[in-house]
A and B are shown apart, each in its own frame.
Chain A
Amino acid sequence: MAEQGGKGPVDTSHLYDGKVVRSSAPSRKKAAGTLKADSGIPDDAVPEVSIPNWIDAIFGGPVLVNREFVSPNRMVLNLQMGAIGSLLVLGFLTFMLTPVSGTAWFALTNMFGIGFLGLWLHLLLILVGLISGFWGVWQRDQRAMLLSYVALILVTIRFAGSKVEFGLSFLPENEVIQKLLLILYAVFLVVYMEISSAVIRFSMLDTSIRTGEVYVMNVKGITDRYNRALGYTPAVAAVVATLTLFINFFVPLFVRILDPVAANRLEESVELTSVYGVALGTILVFIVIASMFAINLPLRIQEYLEKRA
C-alpha cells in the first residue's frame, strides 16, 4: 500500500460510506486564519493574580466580600424588617441616652464658641448611623452596615463621669430604671448588629441554595432554630448584664449574711455604683463562666442529656 508522504488531505471515503473526511484538524486551520502575526502573549494565557491590599493583608483576606445576591426570600425579608425595626428602636434609644456633653466634637466646638455645631455633628452621627443602616439592610450592602455600626458606636464615646447621664432631661432619675434603660439600649445595639449580619448570612445561604451550590434539607427547621436563638441569646446576655450592672445590689446581699454593717457600707459605696462597680461585677460574673468552661461543664451537661435519653 502506498504511503501517504505529504500532509495533504487524505482520502477516507472508504471509511465513511463515501463521505470524504479531512484528516487535518479544522481547529488548526481556523486558528491559522484568525490569529494575528504578532508574537505577544495572548491575554487568556496570563492567569489573573489578585494582590491583596494592606487591609486584606492585615485581616488575612477581604474584610467585606462583595457578592451578588438573588432576590430576597421570605426569611431574608423578615430579617430585613426585623433589622430595620431594631434599628429604629436603637436610633431612638441612642438619641435618648447619649448626650452631646462629654464628646470630643462638643468639647472642640465649644472651645471655639460654636457649641451648636457640636450638637449638629452629634445628631448627624446618629442620622448617618440610621440612614446607612437602613440602606445597608435593604440593599444588603455590608459597607453601609459597617458604617452604621461605626457611627452608632462612635456617638457613645464620650467622657461621661461615673454616673449615668441621659440626653433627654425628662428621663427618670431612678437608678434602677436608668440602668435597665442602658441594658435595653445595649441589647438593641447587639440585636441590630446580629440581625443585620444575619441578613447577609441568610442571603448568601439562599443564593447558594438557589444556584445549586449547596442543598439544604429541612430549611424550616434550620430557620426556626435561628429564630429561637435570636430570642433567647439576647435575653441571656441581658440577664448577665443585669447581674454585672447591679453588683452594688447583689454583693451586699451576700455580704449581709456575714456582716450587715459592711453590707450597708457597700450599698452606699460610690465606687460600687460607678463604672468601676460594673467592672468588678463583670470580673465576678466572668470568673464563674470561666470556671464552668474550665471544668468542661457544657460537655458534661451534654453527656448527661445523652445518657438520660
Chain B
Amino acid sequence: MAWSRKSAMFASLSVAMYLLGLVLRNQQLVTVAVVLLSFLTWAALRTSHGDVASSGRRVEEAVMDEGVQLQSIVAMRKTSSSRVFEDGEIDVTLRIQNRSSMAKVLELRDRVPEVMRIKKGANYVLMEIGPKRETEISYTIETPLRGFYTIGPVCIRVQDELGLFHNEKEVQLYDDFLVFPKMEDIKDAMIKSRVPKIFTGAVNIRNPGEGSNFYNLREYLPGDPMRKINWNATARQDGKMMVNEFERDAVSDVIILVDSRSVSETGPVSRNSLVYSTRAAASLTQHFLSRRDSVGLVVYGDEIVSVDRDTGKKQLYVILTKLAGAMAKGNTPLKIVTTRIMPHIHRGSPIIILSPLEDDPTIVDAVRDLRSRNFEVTVLSPSSLEFEFDARRIDRTGYEVLKTERDILMTELRGLGAYVMDWEPDMLLFTALAGARGF
C-alpha cells in the first residue's frame, strides 16, 4: 500500500498536532489530531480491502494463452497485427474481467512504446467495474518508426475513494510487434547488371535477348521472326523492313549494403541517416524482387549481418525483418565488409551502398576495390549534415566546412566510377536514384 502526498500531509499534521496538544495541554488540538488519524486509518483499512483485487496474489503465476490471470482481475489483449509498416496502425483491444463478486474502481494503463502515438481511443482508463463483469478498452496506435516493439505490461491501480492510499500492480501481459521500414514505390531504379546471370537459382531466365521492354528499331535481317516487324515504321521508311528490338530480360544479384554504425543515427530520431537508409533498402529490395532479381542484404555496424541472396516474397520479409532490427552501433569500416563479401558475389553485380559516408577512412579504398573488380557501385548517401543543419544543431560555418569535405569525398568516389548521390532529406528515393545514375 502506497501513501499519497495528501495522506502523508494528513499523517504528519495529525502527529504534530497530537504531540503539540499534549505539550500545550490543548484538548482541541488533540481532538483534531485524533479525528484526522481515524480518518486516515479508516481509509487505509478500505484500501487494504481492495488490495486483494489490485495487487492480488497470482494464481500459481499461471500464464494462460490469452493472458495473465490475477486472482480476480483478468487482462487479455488482442492486436490487429503483429507486423506493420512505418506510419501504419495497430488496433489494440484490451479486455478486463472482474471475476470477483465485488465492484472495483480501477485505474488502468496499458503501456505502449514511447515512440508510438495514440491515434484513437485511450490506453489510460479510469473505470468502475462491477462484480462478475467484463469490459473492453480499444485504442489505435500509430507506428512512426521501424523496430521491434512490445505493448505491455498492463498497470493497474486501485485507490481508495478519498485518494489517500493506493495499490499498484503490473500485469505481465506483453504483445510483441514488428514495424518494417516504410517502402517507396520505385517504378524504375535504372540499375541493371552488365553481366546477365546464367544460373538464377529459383527463377529461370526468360528467353535471353528477348525481353519485353522496347529498346529501339533496326532494319530487318534474314531470320528475324515476322512478329517482330514493326509495320508502321516499315511504312514510314518507304518499304524498308523495320523490326522492334527489345531489352534482354535478365536476373541479377543485387547486393544492398546498409551502414548502421553509430554515426548513422546522427540527427533527430525520426530523421536520420539510418532511418532513410533502411527505408531505401526496403524500397529497393521490393523493387528488385518484384523484377525477379535476387537480392542480398548486408547490414554493418558493430557486426556484419547478412542475408544471403534469394528471390521471392519470403526473401522480402526476411530482409525487412533484418532492416527493422538494425541498430546504430559500432564502427566497422566499409573495407572490412567489402573484403568479406567480395568473394561471394558475382562480378558485375550491382552493389548499392547506403551510408552517410562519415567517420570511415576506408570508404575510398573499399569503392576502389569494388570498381577494380568490375562491380557496379551506386552510393546513396543520406546526409546527416542536412538533418543536423535542418534541426539547427550545427551552425552555418560548421555546416559549410563539413559540406565541403563531404563534396570532396563524393567527387573522389565519382572519379572511381561509382554512381554517387548526396541524398538530401526532402528528396524522394526515386529522385535520388535518378540523380545517382545521372539521368
- Given the complex of chains A and B, what is the CA–CA distance between A205 and B45 in angstroms? 24
Docked Cα-Cα span, A26 to B49, in Å, equals: 63
* Majority secondary structure, B binding face: helix
On whether the beta carbons of B51 and A302 are closer than 8 Å, the reply is: yes
Determine the chain B residues whose CB is within 8 A of the CB of A275 once the complex forms. Answer: 21-22, 25-27, 30
Segment 15-71 of A: residues with Cβ below 8 Å from B: 15, 21, 23-28, 31-32, 35, 37-42, 44-45
Beyond A27-B426, A28-B390, A157-B24, 8 extra complex contacts between A and B, CB < 8 Å: A7-B407, A21-B431, A35-B392, A194-B39, A194-B162, A225-B128, A229-B162, A299-B48
> How many Å lie between the Cα of A218 and that of B128 in the bound state?
6
Cβ–Cβ contact A216 & B25, under 8 A = no
- Chain A residues near B411 (CB, 8 Å)? 5
Complex partner residue of B38 from A2, A98, A241, CB under 8 angstroms: A241
Q: Are B434 and A278 in contact (CB under 8 A)?
A: no
Residues B27-63 near A (CB distance < 8 A): 27-32, 34-39, 41-43, 45-46, 48-49, 51-52
Of all chain B residues, the one with the shortest Cβ separation from A40 is B395
Chain A residue, CB-CB nearest to B107: A214
Residues of A within 8 Å of B414, CB to CB, are: 3, 5
B51 near A298 with CB under 8 A, answer yes
Known: A12-B431, A217-B125. A278 touches B30 (CB 8 A): yes
* Contact call A240/B435, Cβ cutoff below 8 A: no
Whether B408 is near chain A, meaning CB under 8 Å from some CB there, is no
Contact B102 A309 (CB under 8 A): yes
Given A186-B34, A215-B121, check contact A160 B26 (CB 8 Å): yes
Residue from B38, B386, B389 whose CB has the most chain A CB atoms within 10 Å:
B38
CA–CA, A231 to B131, complex, Å? 23
Least distance between A274 CB and chain B CB atoms (Å):
7
Given the complex of chains A and B, what is the CA–CA distance between A39 and B395 in angstroms? 5
Q: For B35, B48, B72, B390, which residue has the most chain A Cβ atoms within 10 angstroms?
A: B35
Q: Which of A45, A160, A229, A230 contacts B27 (CB 8 A)?
A: A160
Asked if B31 and A159 sit within 8 Å, CB to CB, the answer is no
- Give Cα A21 to B426, complex, Å: 12
Query: With A and B bound together, what is the CA distance between A188 and B427 in angstroms?
Result: 69
* Listed A/B pairs (18) with beta-carbon separation below 8 Å: A2-B438, A3-B419, A5-B414, A12-B431, A14-B439, A38-B395, A42-B392, A153-B13, A186-B36, A237-B38, A274-B27, A275-B21, A282-B18, A289-B41, A293-B45, A293-B48, A302-B51, A305-B102
Instruction: Decide yes or no whether A183 CB sits under 8 A from chain B.
Output: yes
Hey, which bits of chain B sit against chain A, CB under 8 A? 6, 10, 13, 17-18, 20-22, 24-32, 34-39, 41-43, 45-46, 48-49, 51-52, 72, 100-103, 105, 121-122, 124-129, 131, 135, 137, 160-163, 386, 389-393, 395-398, 407, 411, 414, 419, 422, 424-427, 430-432, 434-435, 437-439
A213 interface hit (Cβ, 8 Å): yes
Nearest CB in chain A: distance from B49 CB, A: 5
Is A236's CB under 8 angstroms from B38's CB?
yes
CB of A113 closer than 8 Å to a CB of B:
no
Q: Whole-angstrom distance between the alpha carbons of A39 and B392 in the complex?
A: 11
Counting chain B CB atoms within 10 Å of each CB, which of A23, A160, A216, A225 scores highest? A23
Interface residues of A in 170-202 (CB under 8 A from B): 179, 182-183, 185-187, 189-190, 193-194, 197-198, 201
State A25–B125 Cα separation when bound (angstroms).
Answer: 44
User: A10 at interface (Cβ–Cβ under 8 A)?
Assistant: yes
Q: Which chain B residues border A228 with CB–CB below 8 Å?
A: 161
A residues within 8 A CB of B439?
1, 10, 12, 14-15
Q: Which residues of B contact A234 (CB under 8 A)?
A: 35, 39
- Establish whether residues B35 and A187, one from each chain, have CB atoms under 8 Å apart when the complex forms: yes
Q: Is there an interface contact between B34 and A190, defined as CB atoms closer than 8 Å? A: no
Per a CB cutoff under 8 Å, which of A98, A157, A185, A298 touches B49? Answer: A298
Q: In the complex, A94→B29 CA distance in Å?
A: 12
User: Chain A interface mostly helix, strand, loop or mixed?
Assistant: helix
What number of A residues sit within 8 Å (CB to CB) of B? 97
- Taking A14-B439, A28-B386, A190-B39 as contacts, is the C-beta distance between A214 and B122 under 8 angstroms? yes
| A73 on the B face (CB < 8 A) | no
Flag whether A244 is at the interface (Cβ < 8 A): yes
For residue B4, give the distance in angstroms from its CB to the closest CB of chain A. 10
B230 to chain A, nearest CB (A): 23
Give bound CA distance, A39 to B401, whole Å.
Answer: 13
Residue of B nearest to A166 (CB): B28
Given contacts A153-B17, A162-B27, A309-B131, contact A238 B390 (CB under 8 A): no
Q: Bound state CA distance, A24 and B386, in angstroms?
A: 11
The reply to whether the CB of A250 lies closer than 8 angstroms to some CB of chain B is: no
Residues of A within 8 A of B (CB): 1-5, 7, 10, 12, 14-15, 21, 23-28, 31-32, 35, 37-42, 44-45, 97-98, 102, 153, 156-164, 179, 182-183, 185-187, 189-190, 193-194, 197-198, 201, 205, 212-218, 221-222, 225-226, 228-230, 233-234, 236-241, 244-245, 274-276, 278-279, 282, 286, 289, 292-293, 298-299, 301-303, 305-306, 309
Tell me if A160 and B25 are in contact (CB < 8 A). yes
A230 to chain B, nearest CB (A): 8
Q: How far is the CA of A161 from the CA of B30 in the complex (A)?
A: 12
Could you tell me if B31 and A306 are in contact, using CB atoms closer than 8 angstroms? no
A3 touches B34 (CB 8 A): no
**B424 touches which one: A5, A24, A44, A305 (CB < 8 A)?**
A24
Residues of B within 8 A of A215 (CB): 121-122, 124-126, 137
B31 in complex: contacting residue of A186, A197, A274, CB < 8 Å: A186
In the bound complex, what is the Cα–Cα distance between A10 and B434 (angstroms)?
9
Query: Contacts A12-B434, A197-B6 given: A190-B36 contact, CB under 8 Å?
Result: yes
Chain A nearest CB from B363 CB (Å) reads 18
Q: Are A44 and B392 interface neighbours, CB within 8 A?
A: yes
Known: A3-B414, A217-B126. A185 touches B31 (CB 8 A): yes
A95 to chain B, nearest CB (A): 13
Bound-state CA distance A12–B437 (Å) is: 12
Q: Which of B34, B101, B105 has the most CB of A within 10 A?
A: B34
Cβ A162 vs Cβ B125 within 8 A: no
**Judging by beta carbons under 8 Å apart, are A156 and B131 in contact?**
no
**Which of B126, B386, B393, B422 contacts A45, CB < 8 Å?**
B393
